[in-house]
Amino acid sequence: MIFRTYNQTLTQASKTMAAGILMLGLMLIGLGVLVAAFPKVFAYVVAGVLVAAGLGIAATALKIFLMHRRLTRKDSGQDDMRSPNIQVRPPDAF
């Protein structure tokens, strides 16, 4: 019997969260590029902050996706742990 500390619901939740974080990061990068395309007095500063935040959020989402991929790959392969073979012998008669 193998005991796992996670289940399919948690795996799906982390995958959905990673997708949402990735979308937020990509939207921030896009907003930063748009601000840089239409410069004003401090637009480059704001664009830099938005692009940096977007890159950080996208990197976090990619880490979650890679962790999810590693966990699902481990599940699909053979288990490293094997069940012990327990033998019960009847008590010796005197």
Model pLDDT for residues 6-46, shown as the tens digit of each residue: 567 777 888 889 999 999 999 999 888 887 887 775 678 78
Tokens for 17?
């969260």
Kindly report the pTM of this predicted structure: 0.49
pLDDT digits (tens, 9 = 90+) for 41-79: 567 878 888 899 999 999 999 898 888 888 777 665 555
Instruction: Report CA-CA distances (Å) from 7 to 3, 13, 73, 80, 93.
Output: 10, 10, 14, 18, 48
Q: How many CB atoms lie within 10 A of CB 82?
A: 8
